[in-house]
Amino acid sequence: MSLLELSNVTAGYGQTPVLFDISMKVEKGDLACLLGRNGVGKTTLLRSIIGLNALSKGSMVFDADDISKTPTYKRAKYGIAYIPQGREIIPYLSVLDNLKLGLAASGRKSKKVPDEIFEFFPMLKEHLSRQGGLLSGGQQQQLAIARGLMCNPKLMLLDEPTEGIQPSIVQEIEETLKRINKEKGITVLVVEQKIDFARQLAEKFFIMDKGAIVARGETKALTDSMVNQYLAV
Ligand SMILES: Nc1ncnc2c1ncn2[C@@H]1O[C@H](COP(=O)(O)OP(=O)(O)OP(=O)(O)O)[C@@H](O)[C@H]1O
């Protein structure tokens, strides 16, 4: 059964539609990427899934519940974590307090950061009392992913997690996302511009163009002609 199913979704900003009639399914356990040139609507699609952009048409089902009108904070409690572009770490809060924001979003009672977070991100343990804003870009991205993981999500949505990050950390992020997917069974949907990273990371792909999904399938079937047609700048 699909974990997330969008049917004929239209959404945008105010009266301006950006997404047109999007239907897509993300299956439980998928590690999928969402590709497309700048401005085609990838971020808007993630924002619609987490509820930051209302649907003007269509519906959305998550784990058998219709969430089309569910507010964002409840979608987080249902098990959708969103790691936005730019990470949105609170710069003056410590790493520990940034992590705890993830607990607050999940509605969990426990106030403790589970040890497994540090198994995935050992670096964070060494910087717990440091202000989030003093971490490097790559470390902040790892903190943002860890904060998302604190909600114990079923689905993680990530918006360009490798943007502006040095190659060695990009590789670490790739490995960590694969582990999160395989070891914890968390379904992952990543918006990505770097085609090589997407090919290495994801098993499935969706390509967007002008607010619509124009191609989808197994990543091994993503051909160079599709890349040239929809992704080359
Ligand atoms: N807050 C906003 N208000 C109005 N229009 C917006 C807003 N944010 C984005 N848009 C418009 O929506 C369209 C899609 O933008 P979106 O950010 O979803 O694309 P994207 O594929 O994620 O692009 P990028 O790769 O550059 O992040 C663009 O035309 C953009 O100008």
pLDDT in the model for residue 107: 65
Can you tell me which atom of ligand 1 is nearest the CA of 41? 18
- Contact call for residues 149 and 102 (beta carbons, < 8 A): yes
Closest C-alpha to ligand 1, atom 28: 39
Q: Taking CB atoms and a 6 Å cutoff, what residues make up the pocket around ligand 1?
A: 13, 18, 36, 38-44
Closest C-alpha to ligand 1, atom 31: 39
Closest C-alpha to ligand 1, atom 9: 44
Q: How far is the CA of 87 from the centre of ligand 1 (A)?
A: 17
Query: Can you list the pairs that 66-70 forms with residues at least 24 positions away whose Cβ atoms lie under 8 Å?
Result: none
Q: How far is the CA of 24 from the centre of ligand 1 (A)?
A: 20
Q: How far is the CA of 187 from the centre of ligand 1 (A)?
A: 25
Beta strands 31-35 and 204-209 are parallel
If you count them, how many residues does the chain have?
233
Closest C-alpha to ligand 1, atom 29: 39
Whether 127 has a pLDDT exceeding 80, the answer reads yes
Which pLDDT band, with edges at 50, 70 and 90, does 102 fall under?
confident
* Average pLDDT of span 147-160: 94
Q: How far is the CA of 43 from the centre of ligand 1 (A)?
A: 7
Whether 116 has a pLDDT exceeding 70, the answer reads yes
Q: How far is the CA of 44 from the centre of ligand 1 (A)?
A: 6
CATH numbers and ranges of domains, the chain: 2-231 (3.40.50.300)
Which pLDDT band, with edges at 50, 70 and 90, does 70 fall under?
very high
Q: Could you give the angle at the alpha carbon of 159 between the alpha carbons of 157 and 164, nearest 5°?
A: 145
**ipTM of this model?**
0.96
CB contact set of 195 (below 8 Å; sequence gap of 6+):
35, 227, 231
